[in-house]
């Protein structure tokens, strides 16, 4: 075998090494020499030529030696295959289309994996870039606190460079003579961009030491901010701007398409400031500063060495400064991941689940085409037997059938790859923003498609080929291939293929079912208010120093007045925390009912204007809402949410009772009187928990972070420009941001889940379709083959129902076995879906039941058509069939 | 298929003959090889092109000889074949094998019949 392979390799090399004209030139030289010799000796030239042999013949023989003779044979086989496939367009179409689906889906998914994990990141020396964190397995969180990072930077021996970045933070951007704009600001250590090998397209990078207070009022801006907001001014560096009211100098513009590592689409940084420590006013008094750490390993250092190094440094710092969750921190340990892996992090799961799904589809398709080809090869037994009888070797016959498989797979592969080429860009939502779009279909992806097609051909082509090469000539020729008697073992193969299809299909259907039910569960979550026709818009009064409580109150009153005066508005209110789209805020601990023991209740506080509950149509359960009279200086009143009331008062009546506000600084505590109770509202999308909430009148508890909630008479999104204008007329420096209808917010909050459910649902439906076609094929073939038998049965008095029951029964037996195996497989496999589900477990009985039922129904439908055809068998004709 | 059988037997020996010729006389073009074979066999061995060139090609593909286009004394382009190190090793083993075989045949055909 090896020697043979070597021979082929040599032949192929020979083909390339020498071209035909070279061979001819050499031979002509030989002839001329022979003729010259003959003439010198005085012999006949003709004689000499004869003796040397024919030129054409010799050239042919030399060529035969050189050319890959197998290739010629194979081409002949392929031509033959194309001809015979063209004769059965139905079979060919079904096979090619299902192969195209299978290969296309796999290639498209692979292009996603390729983009996420295999293509090098677009940073300098990407292979040595890592992400480092302290991972706490108990809490499943990765954090690095600033002092730990400082220690790492100072003491490590394993990194060429190690830098950090913080979360992006929203800021109001104002510049002389320009409208205010809400932007996200990223915070990085000064060497961050240099380490990634990214240089500003205009201006300069941060300099070392520029993170020090007093020098850190410099920013780099993103290309899109530069183009869209600053109209691409060339003299950008040196320009002064204000962020949250504080002055900054722009020093440069980052290149286009540079995306801050790790950021989601909605809060991509538009500017970067040179430190990772600047979050003082958004995370009040939490005493900790999380950063994300990226480093470049020294050459030759392994991940494990780097990890151990960081771990040692962290442990050395124990006790030198407080850590946020000191007790839990003991369980943490340093974790070092290749940057690429880290970036794809949370997307990994869904990507691999979907890859598994498309793998399943490909297997189903293989089984399907194998079954179809088997049926076809049975029908061709006679042809094959004749070929074998007139001297074709087993190898030759098997090769012919394999050639057909290859032709089919190649057609499917080419079609599938072009499908993948167009769909790859649609799958962008599966990837984080850091990965450049569109998803490329590169050589690796094409290679995968080729391997996939080839593998498929072998998978589905092997069974028919092997069978054909073992064909019993005598039997096949005698039988004529119309009504087999040796049905038994052939059936077993075809049946098991169909059962395998059913089982895999069930796995996919269960997966899709679970995701779809997850999505339905989410949609049926009650948000606690009427989301229709409500528009939200946010404001953040900056700089904070200038906007004290009085100015906040004043601003709120004027904004609300201006907005309420707009046409098309039914009602409007202000709140410090918008429903559904809450920002990261922290609950307060220690609210206490006056005269009762402190229980450590954890409750969120929200300041709202009088109409808030009316605007959102939050149900008043008890007591009254706020009114004009609940102003500054009057009795301080609160409205509790249902869950807050339960936490503080259990089942007692809260109305008229007093609640003490916690005071972290000790001393005097504010006293609030409960005047009413309202229903619970969801703040963190549909998946988030319900917050226990205490509502206070905005006038009595003013806030700088405000959201407008506006109920419109008709389409609320049309109000956005008017609202921006109204707010701008009051204070130019306060940009309105996050203008969005509640319905859009709700729909966005489940968008990713919807997309995944739709995608897996599509995959599952495709596989169901392919499976039904497969079952139909099996049954139809079986019926045709048994025409004679069925004819006999009918002649002997079998009724229509008996025949129907017999055939459909066979289908149902397959379905039952397939479902049983599929359920077992699903129970094992769907466990990986756990993290993607909401409101149900991976073993949800309902899903399994529905899916199994669907599959059984589909199978009986698929076998009913052939069965009913069987009942119409005319016994006379069937028997004459002999 | 007597023809084919004969060709097969010849193939092995032809390869050996070509190898030996190329090895002994250095770079030679195809015609020179044929000429030489004819010469040493006193005309008994007449190799036609259809046998010779596939043989040369075969040996070249197996890496036993290597070919180069060169100019002849008459300034004609011709492909010159020379033996490679692998070819030399092959020639040695083939030669040994041939002698062994020949002596066996000798014993079998001549001495047994006595």
Q: What is the DSSP string of A437-469?
A: SSPP--HHHHHHHHHHHHHHHHHHHHHHHHHHH
CB atoms within 10 A of CB A304: 9
A57/B60 touch (CB, cutoff 8 Å), yes or no: no
For chain A, 882 residues long, the average pLDDT of each consecutive 10-residue run is 60 53 79 82 74 67 56 75 83 88 90 85 86 79 79 90 85 85 87 91 88 82 91 89 89 86 67 64 42 90 92 85 61 84 78 88 88 77 73 73 87 90 78 75 88 85 72 58 46 80 92 90 86 91 83 92 91 89 72 85 89 93 92 92 92 92 81 94 79 92 91 90 89 86 86 86 90 85 80 84 88 92 91 84 90 92 86 74 52
Residues of B within 8 A of A29 (CB-CB) are: 29-31, 76-79
CA distance A109 to chain B (A): 43
CA distance B60 to chain A (A): 9
SS3 letters across A504-549: HHHHHHHHHHHHHHHHHHHHCCCCCCCCCCEEEEEEECCCCCCCCH
Contact in structure between A161 and A217 (CB atoms under 8 Å): no
Contacts of A579 (CB under 8 A, 6+ apart): A527, A528, A529, A536, A616, A681, A682, A683, A709, A742
Report the chain A residue with the minimal C-alpha distance to residue B77.
A29
Let me know if A352 is exposed, middle or buried by CB neighbors in 10 A (0-12, 13-18, 19+). middle
Residues of B within 8 A of A25 (CB-CB) are: 77
Hey, CA dihedral for A87, A91, A95, A101, is it positive or negative? Answer: positive
Question: For residues A134 and A780, what is the distance between their CA atoms, to the nearest angstrom?
Answer: 61
Residues of B within 8 A of A33 (CB-CB) are: 31, 35
| Strand pairing category for A159-165 and A181-187 | unpaired
CA distance A75 to chain B (A): 23
CA distance A386 to chain B (A): 25
Q: Does residue B60 sit at the A interface (CB-CB below 8 Å)?
A: yes
SS3 letters across A292-345: EEEEEECCCCCHHHHHHHHHHHHHHHCCCCCCCCHHHHCCCEEEEEEHHHHHHH
Residue carrying structure tokens 């193969």: A493
Residue A70 has what pLDDT? 58
Contact in structure between A716 and A533 (CB atoms under 8 Å): yes
Residue B109 has what pLDDT? 82
Contact in structure between A672 and A740 (CB atoms under 8 Å): no
Nearest CB to B62; choose among A10, A18, A29: A10
Residue A330 has what pLDDT? 65
Q: Does residue B98 sit at the A interface (CB-CB below 8 Å)?
A: no
Chain Cα centroid distance, residue A868 = 44
Residue (of A574, A533, A532) closest to A726 by Cα position: A574
Contact in structure between A736 and A71 (CB atoms under 8 Å): no
Contact in structure between A111 and A445 (CB atoms under 8 Å): yes
Residues of A within 8 A of B37 (CB-CB) are: none
Question: For residues A363 and A80, what is the distance between their CA atoms, to the nearest angstrom?
Answer: 27
Residue (of A53, A31, A35) closest to A43 by Cα position: A35
Residues of B within 8 A of A53 (CB-CB) are: 48-51
Q: Number of CB pairs < 8 Å for A and B?
A: 69
Q: Does residue B49 sit at the A interface (CB-CB below 8 Å)?
A: yes
A61/B54 touch (CB, cutoff 8 Å), yes or no: yes
Vertex A602: Cα angle to A597 and A604 (nearest 5): 125
Residues of A within 8 A of B54 (CB-CB) are: 61-62, 64-65
Q: Is the pTM of this model over 0.80?
A: no
Contacts of A191 (CB under 8 A, 6+ apart): A161, A163, A206, A208
Distances (CA, A) of A590 to A244, A596, A838: 32, 12, 31
Contact in structure between A648 and A640 (CB atoms under 8 Å): yes
Q: Which of B32, B49, B80 is the best substitution to test chain A (most A C-beta atoms within 10 A)?
A: B49
Question: For residues B98 and B8, what is the distance between their CA atoms, to the nearest angstrom?
Answer: 16
Q: Which of residues 6-45 of A touch B (CB under 8 A)?
A: 10-11, 13-14, 17-18, 22-23, 25-27, 29-34, 37
Residue (of A257, A123, A243) closest to A172 by Cα position: A243
Residue (of A198, A185, A221, A118) closest to A431 by Cα position: A118
B57/A18 touch (CB, cutoff 8 Å), yes or no: yes
Report the SS3 class of residue A682: strand
Contact in structure between A631 and A692 (CB atoms under 8 Å): no
Report the chain B residue with the minimal C-alpha distance to residue A32.
B31
Report the SS3 class of residue A607: strand
Report the chain B residue with the minimal C-alpha distance to residue A9.
B61
* End-to-end CA separation in angstroms for chain B: 33
Residue carrying structure tokens 């042919």: A60
Contact in structure between A319 and A176 (CB atoms under 8 Å): no
Q: Does residue A839 sit at the B interface (CB-CB below 8 Å)?
A: no
Which token pair is A139? 């809490």
Report the SS3 class of residue A828: helix
Kindly provide the ipTM of the predicted complex, given to two decimals: 0.80
A26/B79 touch (CB, cutoff 8 Å), yes or no: yes
Residues of A within 8 A of B53 (CB-CB) are: 23, 26-27, 30, 58, 61-62
Which token pair is A521? 């569960």
Residue B104 has what pLDDT? 87
B50/A58 touch (CB, cutoff 8 Å), yes or no: yes
Which token pair is A452? 């996939």
Question: For residues A410 and A74, what is the distance between their CA atoms, to the nearest angstrom?
Answer: 14
Residue A280 has what pLDDT? 36
Question: For residues A205 and A66, what is the distance between their CA atoms, to the nearest angstrom?
Answer: 62
Contacts of A316 (CB under 8 A, 6+ apart): A151, A155
Question: For residues A75 and A352, what is the distance between their CA atoms, to the nearest angstrom?
Answer: 38
B53/A18 touch (CB, cutoff 8 Å), yes or no: no
CB atoms within 10 A of CB A702: 23
Q: Walk across the sheet containing B65-71 and list its strands.
A: B28-29, B77-83, B65-71
B48/A66 touch (CB, cutoff 8 Å), yes or no: no
DSSP B4-59: HHHHHHHHHHHHHHHHHHHHHH-SEEHHHHHHHHHHHTTTS----HHHHHHHHHHH
pLDDT digit string, tens, across residues B51-102: 788 888 888 888 899 888 888 888 888 889 999 999 999 999 988 988 888 8
Q: Does residue A67 sit at the B interface (CB-CB below 8 Å)?
A: no
CA distance B114 to chain A (A): 40
Query: A135 forms bridges with which residues in the sheet?
Result: A142, A333
Contacts of A787 (CB under 8 A, 6+ apart): A482, A483, A873, A878, A881
Distances (CA, A) of A111 to A38, A440, A448, A761: 68, 7, 9, 20
Query: B79 forms bridges with which residues in the sheet?
Result: B69
A29/B50 touch (CB, cutoff 8 Å), yes or no: no
Burial A201-229 (b: 16+ CB within 10 A, else e): ebbebbeeebbeeeebebbbbbbebbeeb
Q: Does residue A52 sit at the B interface (CB-CB below 8 Å)?
A: yes
CA distance B72 to chain A (A): 11
Residue A474 has what pLDDT? 61
């Amino acid at each position: 075998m090896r020697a043979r392979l070597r021979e082929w390799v040599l032949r192929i090399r020979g083909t390339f090494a020498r071209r035909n004209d070279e061979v001819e030139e050499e031979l002509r030289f030989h002839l001329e020499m022979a003729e010259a010799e003959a003439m010198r000796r005085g012999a006949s030239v003709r004689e000499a030529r004869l003796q040397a042999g024919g030129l054409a013949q010799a050239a042919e023989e030399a060529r035969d030696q050189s050319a890959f003779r197998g290739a010629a044979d194979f081409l002949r086989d392929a031509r033959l295959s194309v001809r015979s496939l063209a004769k059965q367009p139905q079979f060919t179409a079904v096979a090619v289309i299902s192969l195209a689906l299978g290969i296309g889906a796999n290639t498209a998914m692979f292009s996603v994996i390729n983009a996420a994990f295999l293509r090098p990141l677009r940073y300098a020396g990407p292979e040595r870039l890592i992400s480092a964190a302290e991972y706490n397995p108990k809490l499943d969180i990765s954090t690095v606190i600033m002092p730990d990072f400082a220690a790492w930077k100072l003491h490590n021996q394993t990194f060429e460079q190690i830098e950090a970045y913080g979360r992006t933070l929203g800021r109001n951007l104002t510049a002389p003579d320009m409208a205010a704009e809400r932007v996200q600001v990223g915070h990085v250590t000064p060497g961050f961009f240099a380490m990634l090998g990214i240089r500003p397209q205009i201006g300069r990078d941060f300099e070392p030491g520029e993170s020090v207070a007093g020098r850190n009022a410099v920013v780099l801006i993103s290309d899109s901010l530069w183009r869209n907001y600053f109209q691409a001014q060339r003299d950008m560096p040196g320009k002064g701007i204000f962020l949250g009211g504080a002055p900054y100098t722009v020093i440069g513009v980052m290149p286009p398409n540079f995306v801050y590592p790790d950021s989601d689409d909605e809060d991509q940084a538009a500017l970067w400031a040179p430190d990772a420590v600047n979050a003082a006013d958004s995370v009040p008094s939490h005493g900790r500063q999380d950063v994300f750490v990226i480093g470049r390993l020294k050459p030759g250092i392994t991940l494990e060495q780097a990890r151990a190094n960081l771990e040692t440094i962290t442990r050395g710092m124990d006790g030198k400064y407080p850590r946020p969750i000191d007790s839990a921190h003991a369980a943490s340990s340093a974790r070092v991941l290749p940057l690429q892996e880290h970036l794809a992090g949370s997307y990994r799961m869904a990507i691999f689940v979907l890859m598994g799904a498309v793998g399943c589809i490909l297997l189903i398709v293989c089984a399907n085409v194998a079954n179809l080809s088997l049926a076809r090869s049975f029908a061709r037994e006679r042809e094959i037997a004749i070929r074998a009888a007139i001297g074709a070797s087993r190898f030759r016959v098997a090769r012919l059938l394999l050639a057909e498989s290859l032709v089919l797979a190649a057609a499917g592969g080419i079609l599938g790859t072009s499908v993948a080429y167009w769909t790859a860009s649609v799958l962008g939502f599966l990837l984080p923003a850091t990965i450049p779009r569109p998803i490329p279909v590169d050589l690796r992806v094409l290679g995968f498609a080729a391997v996939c097609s080839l593998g498929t051909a072998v998978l589905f082509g092997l069974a028919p080929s092997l069978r054909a090469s073992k064909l019993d000539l005598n039997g096949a020729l005698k039988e004529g291939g119309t009504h087999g008697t040796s049905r038994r073992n052939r059936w077993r193969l075809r049946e098991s293929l169909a059962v395998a299809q059913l089982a895999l299909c069930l796995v996919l259907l269960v997966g899709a079912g679970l995701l779809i039910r997850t999505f339905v569960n989410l949609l049926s979550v009650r948000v606690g208010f009427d989301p229709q026709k409500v528009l939200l818009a946010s404001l953040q009064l900056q700089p904070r120093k200038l906007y004290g409580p009085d100015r906040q109150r004043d601003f709120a009153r004027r904004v609300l007045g201006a907005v309420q005066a707009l046409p098309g508005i039914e009602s409007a209110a202000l709140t410090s925390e918008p429903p559904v789209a809450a920002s990261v805020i922290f609950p307060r601990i220690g609210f206490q009912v006056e005269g009762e023991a402190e229980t450590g209740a954890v409750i969120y506080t929200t300041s709202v204007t009088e109409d808030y509950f009316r605007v959102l149509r939050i149900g008043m359960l008890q007591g009254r809402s706020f009114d004009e009279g609940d102003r500054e200086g009057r009795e301080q009143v609160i409205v509790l949410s249902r869950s807050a009331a339960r936490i503080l008062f259990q089942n007692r009546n809260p109305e008229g009772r007093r609640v003490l506000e916690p005071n972290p600084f000790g001393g005097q505590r504010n006293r609030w009187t409960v005047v009413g109770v309202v229903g619970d509202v969801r703040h963190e999308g549909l998946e988030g928990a319900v917050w226990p909430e205490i509502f206070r009148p905005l006038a009595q508890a003013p806030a700088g972070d405000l959201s407008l909630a506006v109920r419109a008479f008709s389409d609320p999104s049309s109000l956005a420009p008017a609202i921006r204008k109204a707010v701008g007329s009051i204070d130019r420096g306060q940009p309105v941001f996050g203008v969005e209808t509640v319905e859009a917010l709700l729909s966005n909050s489940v968008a990713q889940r919807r997309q995944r459910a739709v995608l897996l649902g599509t995959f599952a439906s495709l596989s169901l379709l392919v499976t039904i076609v497969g079952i139909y094929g099996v049954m139809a073939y079986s019926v045709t083959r048994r025409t004679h038998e069925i004819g006999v049965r009918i002649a002997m008095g079998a009724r229509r129902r008996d025949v129907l029951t017999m055939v459909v029964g066979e289908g149902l037996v397959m379905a039952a076995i397939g479902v049983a195996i599929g359920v077992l497989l699903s129970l094992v496999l769907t466990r990986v879906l756990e993290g993607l589900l909401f409101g149900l477990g991976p073993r949800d009985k309902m899903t399994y039941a529905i899916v199994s039922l669907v599959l059984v129904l589909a199978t009986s439908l698929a076998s009913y058509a052939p069965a009913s055809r069987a009942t119409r068998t005319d016994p006379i004709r069937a028997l004459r069939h002999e | 298929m007597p023809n084919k059988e004969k060709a097969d037997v010849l193939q092995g020996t032809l390869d050996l003959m070509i190898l030996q010729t190329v090895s002994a006389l250095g770079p030679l073009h195809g015609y020179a090889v044929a000429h030489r074979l004819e010469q040493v066999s006193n005309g008994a061995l007449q190799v036609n092109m259809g046998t010779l060139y596939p043989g040369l090609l075969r040996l070249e593909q197996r890496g036993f000889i290597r070919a180069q286009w060169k100019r002849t004394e008459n300034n004609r382009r011709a492909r010159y074949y020379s033996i490679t190190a692998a070819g030399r090793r092959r020639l040695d083993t083939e030669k040994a094998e041939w002698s062994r075989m020949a002596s066996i045949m000798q014993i079998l055909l001549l001495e047994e019949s006595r």
